[in-house]
Structure 1
Amino acid sequence: MTPGGPREEQRVATGIPGLDTVLCGGLRKGRMYMVLGLPGAGKTILANQICFHQAAQGHRVLYLTLLAESHTELVSNLQTLSFFDPACVPGKISYLSAFTILEQGGLDALAELVRKEIKSHKASLLVLDGLLAAEELAPSRQALKKFIHGLQVVTGLIGCTTVVLTTGGDKGLRAEHTMVDGLLLLQQKNFGVRTLRELRVSKFRGSAYKLGQHGFEITGDGLTVYPRLESMVDGNLVPGAGKRDRDAFGVAGLDSMLKGGVPAGSTTILLGPPGSGKTLLGLSFLAEGARQGERSHYFAFYDAPERMLAQAAGVGLHLQPLMERGDLEVSFRPPTENILDKLGTELLTIVRSGRVRRIFLDGYEALRRASTRNTRVARFLAALVNECRVREVTLVYTAETTSAFGPEVKFPLKGISMVAENILFLRMVELHSGLRRFIAVLKVRNSAFDPAVRELEITNKGLKVGQPFAEGQMLMTGLARTRTPEPTPLPKPRSKPRAGSRSTAKAGTLSKPRRNVSKRRGT
């Protein structure tokens, strides 16, 4: 701390993955925080996870419960979680049931117990579980406010951080909510048949924090919070001068159309119906990067690694050696009930690792299904695109068109310009009673490109982009027509002369010119 400068703030780390990120460093030392949530929301697990993390750091913790459940039952339920360490109980973490004291002596007796136990255990962290019981037994709202204020004074003087757990009672803002230094709300929300957990910080005095709803899950390891991706990206950062100019796909004809490849650090959409070759093209992009010594990452939803390797080998892409060498990474998660913020955390970790230069995300539809709010996916992608641009990571992702054939092509999301700088369009057309694939470049930001529509062939030796389709027209509609040459006009046939006419005269015989003699009147 510099003389005359701001006092260095001491933080109490929660040890909950992602939560300290949302809180921009953790809880502030000696402050009081309230965690609200209905039964089953995860309040007790959250508080105990903080307790065991602080105990592991050498601090002493007092966990005081006002619930009818005994602390013995509470500890028994915690033993199934990986963060539970029996060596910390009762040495570093002391569990104490105060329900009987509250019931018999009221708030004054409870306040006295808290003061005595904090000093006795020399606790630096206090958890008060079950404030609702104190609310119900308080003679008035004013008495409850007095109790909370007294608790703040005592804990603040000795530097003991306090976490109060409650269901929140009635809806709306309560007086005690305004008194504490921070409010954390845990919720379970139903979206159709799905139930998702979300955390929101609605108040945090004296410190910045991440706004909005952040997804979290409870597993055998306890709580894991996934900060909202949009809140994690710094929009003020600008990309620096890159060392790479172009990133090629490794498909000669396509790289020629792109004048060497897509700009490094840009984002490209592979747009097309199922079966048009999007995934194989993305894998070719990763393989080319690995061959150039650039580490690449395949973020997959539809094909497990074993299946992906077999499919790629079938078209001449042998990716196994690249994976064994460490130049190609593969991560797979089934497209079932994913949490969008969890996917965002994983993607952000890959981008910020500094080791990956190319990412292939397959694909957009899985992100849309992971989101419970469809309008959010575009903002999610925009944040990811910005982060990739700043870190000079080239991103390619697939997006399915809504129809395979037809005169109209609809983009799967609105505001496509903010989520992609380059667009490659793949489609199948019916031509000469057969299906043929083609590829076209619709857009490459700030760069020239070949706008021709070219045939895309999938062979056992890889992908091949051929010459422009000179024989067809209306290919972009998916309903191609054969281009036929315009017929050459034929000369008009001469009419045959009739027999006995003057035109049958022999050559060299000149017929006398016919003299028109007008008949004079009176002759």
Structure 2
Amino acid sequence: MDTTDSRGRGRISTGIPGVDDVLAGGYLPETATLVRGPPGSGKSIFSLHFLAAGIDSDDTTLYVNLGEPKNYIRDTAREFGFDIDGLNLLNLSASGDQFRSDETYTLFDSGEVETPSLVESIRTEVQEINPDYVVVDPVTEFRYLAPDDHQFRSQILGLVNFLKNEGVTVVLTSQAATSMPDDDLQFLVDAVINLGDGSDHLTLHVSKFRGSSVKSGHHTLQITDDGMRVWPRLDPNHHEREHTSAKLSSGVPELDSLLSGGLTTGTITFLSGPTGVGKTTTGLQFMKEAAGRGQRSVLYSFEEDRKTLFERAEAVNIPVGAMIDRGTLNVEVIGPGELTVDEFTHQLRSEVEDNHAEIVMIDGTSGFEQSLRGAGTDPMQHLVKIGRYLRNMGVTGLVTNEVHRITGEFRATDEEMSYLADSIVILRHVEYKGSLRKVIGVLKMRTSDYENQLRQLEITKHGLRVGESLPELRGILTGTPNWKDDGD
């Protein structure tokens, strides 16, 4: 169960997937951590993960139960599949056997007697079994038995210091509630982990951790039939690798000409335009060409189902099925509320770091904003972080942005997100002599020069076709496009 962090210091694993990542490796040995949260937030499960991992590593563990009936702890452990046959359980809950005898009731008649007696029971158990890890759940039960706050703090501080001096790594749990504040407990421990109930999902955040940096923010927490896991919030500053810039060809010479040879790898490009103009198809064209070179791409679709996406792609000569079979493409359809933003970024990181994806496409900024839980009031801040992460990792990012006005005054992005992009490719419907046509052009490209002309775009059964430049086209940026006649 012992690990080391980036500075070579010993760490104690929490036993929970994702939490060690948040804590830069896990608990520091011989420290005390307060795990706090409202009822139902998973404090006992959090503790059982820690002790079960210790048992798996042949460490000696002790669970001091002050709250729930003894059978509840055992039943909860079995329900989540924890092997706790080697767990030492000290049951001091109000439903315990010692509370049923007349002698015990007399002994616990006075608060001044009760609290030292409970502490002494814990001391005796620790000295007998010499545990490596101890959980006291919940430590706030002591408050009911202490005559005043001062006595409560003194008893907890004495208990924590005793356990640490015995070489124990300690986890205390606290029922966080306005009716029973635990600010004083937070001052007495080395670390504070908060389990919270967000508007649509559980979260974990670390408000205190002596001796080490941790990942900040409210990270997604999930409780499933297998127990608990945490999806850390993406921090692009923690991810970077060496990479070189090159040109990513679309395989369509005229489109590459617009882009001065293609997209620059390791940059973010917005494909911006109204519905039906060909944004997704244009992005898939770059992926198709990359697949021919054996490069892997991943497309996250927020606004189109898998069947429709596949049928449309195959109809324009983009063989997504064959690309998936060869392992050069992965398509993930993200439905509304299906994932939290942290789960999504974890999937994205796995594609980049484990599966070596070189192109990532986020298909639909509106869907991205509306589909992911836990995105807060400004979902675009998460897209900014994803963009920075992809740049740091040398991955090419494609983002389709739907401009809801099919005609009228032109805007590259409805959400004024152009500052997020290194490049902006615009696609637009225009009318010419009573027929509707599509045009494509480049509005912005930070990394290189680009062709400042518009070209006609056609999407046919043979694929993407880009025509010659259209110098006769006027007024597309003013919202009233028209064509200059040869006689003008």
Query: Is 1:63 aligned to residue 63 of structure 2?
Result: yes
Structure 1 unaligned regions, length at least 5: 1-6, 488-523
User: Given that residues 278 and 398 in structure 1 are in contact (C-alpha distance below 8 angstroms), is that contact kept between their aligned partners in structure 2?
Assistant: yes
Matched with 1:503 is none
Q: Is the 8 A contact 1:34 1:164 kept in 2?
A: yes
What pairs with 1:339-350 in structure 2 (closer than 5 Å)?
A: 339-350=340-351
Distance across 1 between alignment mates of 2:167 and 2:284: 56
Q: Supply the distance in 2 between the matched residues of 1:267 and 1:415 (Cα, whole angstroms).
A: 12
Whether the 8 Å contact between 1:405 and 1:477 is mirrored in structure 2 is no
- Residue 389 (structure 1) aligns with: 391
Cα distance between partner residues in 1 of 2:346 and 2:362: 14
Query: Aligned match of 2:170 in 149, 162, 165?
Result: 162
Distance of 2:480 and 2:421 partners within structure 1: 27
What does 1:101-500 correspond to in 2, within 5 Å? 104=105, 105=108, 106-170=114-178, 174-190=183-199, 195-230=200-235, 232-234=236-238, 240=242, 242=244, 245-353=246-354, 355-369=356-370, 370=372, 372=374, 376-409=378-411, 411-414=413-416, 416-417=418-419, 419-470=420-471, 472-477=473-478, 479-485=480-486
* Structure 1 residue 247 displacement after superposition: 0.4
Once the two structures are TM-superposed, the CA of residue 222 in structure 1 deviates from its matched residue by 2.0
Structure 2 CA distance for partners of 1:26 and 1:240, relative to 1, 3 Å? closer
SS at match of 2:357: coil
For the pair 1:74 / 2:73, whether they are aligned, the reply is yes
How has the CA–CA distance of structure 1 residues 52 and 126 changed in structure 2, closer, same or farther, with 3 Å as cutoff? Answer: same
Residue 305 of structure 1 deviates from its aligned partner by: 4.3
Code of the aligned partner of 2:403: T
- How far does residue 320 in structure 1 lie from its aligned partner after superposition? 2.1
Q: Distance in 2 between matches of 1:284 and 1:77?
A: 52
Q: Which amino acid aligns with 2:93?
A: F
C-alpha change, 1:47 and 1:450, in structure 2 (3 Å) is: same
Q: Structure 1: which amino acid aligns with 2:34?
A: M
Q: In the TM superposition, what is the alpha-carbon distance from 1:306 to its structure 2 partner?
A: 4.4
Indicate the percent of aligned positions where both proteins have the same amino acid. Answer: 29
**1:84 and 2:117 aligned:** no
> Is the deviation greater in 424-433 or in 93-102?
93-102
Which residue identity is paired with 1:422?
S
CA distance in 1, matches of 2:261, 2:412: 28
Shift of 1:467: 2.1
| Whole-Å separation in 2 of the counterparts to 1:19 and 1:70 | 28
CA distance in 2, matches of 1:290, 1:306: 21
2:79 partner SS? coil
Q: Which residue of 2 aligns with 1:499?
A: none
CA distance in 2, matches of 1:197, 1:241: 37
SS state at 2:413 partner = coil
Contact 2:12 2:26 in 1 (8 A): yes
**Deviation sequence 1:187-239 (CA, Å, 0-9, x none):** 1122xxxx222212111111111122222222222222122213x5238x5x7
8 Å Cα contact 1:428-1:478 kept in structure 2: no
Distance in 1 of aligned mates of 2:479 and 2:79: 57
Alignment partner, residue 41 of structure 1: 41
Residue 181 to residue 477, structure 1, CA distance change in 2 (3 Å): same
Q: Secondary structure at the match of 2:211?
A: coil
Q: Quick check: 1:286–1:359 contact (8 Å CA) kept in 2? A: no
Distance 1:402 1:323, change over 3 A: same
Deviation at 1:71, TM superposition (A): 2.1
Runs of 4+ in 1 over 6 A off after TM superposition: none
Give the letter for the 1:424 counterpart.
Answer: V
CA distance in structure 1 between the aligned counterparts of 2:392 and 2:135, rounded to whole angstroms: 42
Residue 468 of structure 2 aligns to a residue whose secondary structure is strand
Query: 1: distance between equivalents of 2:89 and 2:280?
Result: 55
Letter in 2 for 1:404: I
**Alpha-carbon deviations, 1:90-130, whole Å to 9, x = none?**
xx213332024588432111111111222333321111112
TM-score (norm 1): 0.83
* Counterpart in the other structure of 2:111: none
Deviates most, 327-336 or 43-52: 327-336
- What CA distance in whole angstroms lies between the structure 1 residues aligned with 2:416 and 2:49? 41
CA contact (8 A) 1:378 1:414 kept: no
d(CA) in 2 for partners of 1:115 and 1:412? 64
Larger Rg: 1
Separation in structure 1 between the aligned mates of residue 433 and residue 343 of structure 2, nearest angstrom: 48
Q: What does the per-residue CA deviation read over 1:135-154, in whole Å, with 9 as the maximum and x for residues that have no partner? A: 12211111111211121122
Q: 1:185 to 1:295 in 2, by over 3 A?
A: same
* Secondary structure in structure 2 of the residue aligned to 1:349: helix
Would you say the 8 A contact 1:404–1:428 is kept in 2? yes
Q: Is the aligned partner of 1:9 residue 2:48?
A: no
Question: 2-side partners of 1:161 and 1:297: how far apart?
Answer: 43
The corresponding residue for 1:95 is 89
Letter in 2 for 1:214: H
- Give the 3-state SS of the residue equivalent to 2:452 in structure 1: coil
Q: Do the aligned residues in 2 keep the contact of 1:361 with 1:396 (CA within 8 Å)? A: yes
Once residues 465 and 167 of structure 2 are traced to their aligned partners in structure 1, the CA distance between those partners, rounded to angstroms, is 69
Number of positions where the alignment pairs a residue of Structure 1 with one of Structure 2 = 467
Question: Equivalents in 1 of 2:429, 2:260: separation in Å?
Answer: 24
Contact 1:299 1:332 in 2 (8 A): yes
In structure 2, do the counterparts of structure 1 residues 373 and 412 end up closer, same or farther at CA, with 3 Å as the change threshold? farther
Deviation at 1:478, TM superposition (A): 5.0
- The verdict on how the C-alpha distance between 1:39 and 1:132 changes in structure 2, with shifts beyond 3 A counting, is same
Single out whichever of 365-374 and 109-118 deviates more from structure 2.
365-374
SS of equivalent residue, structure 2 residue 176: coil
User: 1:313 Cα shift?
Assistant: 0.9
Report if the CA contact (8 A) 1:268-1:420 is conserved.
yes
Cα RMSD over matched residues?
2.5
Distance in 1, matches of 2:376 and 2:69, equals: 44
Q: Closer, same or farther in 2 for the Cα pair 1:78/1:72, shift >3 Å? A: same
- TM-score of the pair, normalised by structure 2: 0.88
CA–CA separation in structure 2 for the residues paired with 1:474 and 1:414: 21
Please say if residues 268 and 397 of structure 2, whose CA atoms lie closer than 8 Å, have aligned partners that are also in contact. yes
Partner of 1:515: none
Deviations 1:59-82 (A, max 9, x none): 222112211x3121232234332x
